[in-house]
Amino acid sequence: MTFHKALTELSHSPAFIDKKRPQKLADLTALCARLLNVDRVSVWQFPEERDRIESEWLHTTDAATGDKSSLYQSGNPDYFSALETERVLSVRDAQNDPRTRAFAPGYLIPLNILSMLDAPVFDGARLSGVICLESTHQRDWTLPEISFVIAIADTISLINTHEAWLHSQRALEYVTRYDSLTGLSNIESLRDRIGHLADKIERRGLGSLALIWIDVDRLKSINDGLGPQVGDNVIAEVGRRLKKLSVPGKDLLARIGGDEYALMVRNHTMRDSLELTASRIRQEINRPIRLTGHSISVGASLGICHLPGDCQTTEELLRGAEAAMYNAKQRGRDQACFFDSSIQVTARSRFVLENELRAAISNHTLEVFYQPIMSAAGMKLESLEALVRWQHPQRGWLSPIEFLGIARSGGLMYALGECVLRRVCEHWQQAHNQGITLPEISVNLAAEQVSIPELPSLIR
CATH assignment of the domain containing 196:
3.30.70.270
The answer to the question of residue 61 being in a domain is yes
Please check whether residues 136 and 222 belong to one and the same domain. no
Please check whether residues 42 and 169 belong to one and the same domain. yes
Q: How far apart are CA 274 and CA 304, in angstroms?
A: 8
Residues belonging to the chain: 460
Residue 440 sits in a domain of what CATH number? 3.20.20.450
Continuous segment of H or E residues that includes residue 44: strand 40-45
Instruction: Give 328-342 as a DSSP string.
Output: HHHTTSSSEEE--HH
The answer to the question of residue 158 being in a domain is yes
Please check whether residues 275 and 207 belong to one and the same domain. yes
Q: How far apart are CA 409 and CA 108, in angstroms?
A: 66
Alpha-helical regions (H) of 211-362: 219-226, 228-244, 271-286, 314-330, 341-362
Tell me how crowded residue 140 is: count the other CB atoms within 10 A of its CB: 8
Please check whether residues 127 and 227 belong to one and the same domain. no
Please check whether residues 159 and 232 belong to one and the same domain. no
Between the CA atoms of 310, 312, 315 and 319, what dihedral angle is there, to the nearest 10 degrees? -10
Q: How far apart are CA 163 and CA 305, in angstroms?
A: 43
Residue 181 contacts residue 232 (beta carbons within 8 Å) = yes
Strand pairing partners for 336?
302
pLDDT tens sequence across 406-444: 787 777 888 899 999 999 999 999 999 999 988 999 998
Angle of helix 341-362 relative to helix 314-330, nearest 10 degrees, comes to 110
Please check whether residues 29 and 148 belong to one and the same domain. yes
Residue 451 contacts residue 175 (beta carbons within 8 Å) = yes
SS3 181: coil
The answer to the question of residue 345 being in a domain is no
Decide: residue 441, CB within 10 A, 0-12 exposed, 13-18 middle, 19+ buried: middle
Continuous segment of H or E residues that includes residue 417: helix 413-433
Please check whether residues 380 and 276 belong to one and the same domain. no
The answer to the question of residue 356 being in a domain is no
Please check whether residues 95 and 125 belong to one and the same domain. yes
Residues of the domain holding 386? 367-459
Give 93's DSSP letter. S
The answer to the question of residue 127 being in a domain is yes
The answer to the question of residue 399 being in a domain is yes
∠ CA 54-55-56 to the nearest 5 degrees?
110
Tell me how crowded residue 20 is: count the other CB atoms within 10 A of its CB: 8
Residue 453 has a pLDDT of: 80
SS3 20: coil
Angle of helix 143-177 relative to helix 21-36, nearest 10 degrees, comes to 180
**Total number of domains constituting the chain:** 3
Using omega within 30 degrees of 0 as the cis cutoff, is the peptide bond preceding 120 cis?
no
Residues of the chain short of pLDDT 50, as ranges, are none
The answer to the question of residue 352 being in a domain is no
Residue 299 contacts residue 281 (beta carbons within 8 Å) = no
Residue 341 has a pLDDT of: 67
Please check whether residues 119 and 194 belong to one and the same domain. no
pTM of the complete model beyond 0.95? no
Residue 128 sits in a domain of what CATH number? 3.30.450.40
Q: How far apart are CA 365 and CA 403, in angstroms?
A: 14
Residue 342 has a pLDDT of: 67
Q: For 194, phi and psi rounded to 5 degrees?
A: -60, -45
Please check whether residues 222 and 322 belong to one and the same domain. yes
Please check whether residues 162 and 60 belong to one and the same domain. yes
Give Cβ neighbours of residue 401 (< 8 Å, ≥ 6 apart): none
Please check whether residues 296 and 390 belong to one and the same domain. no
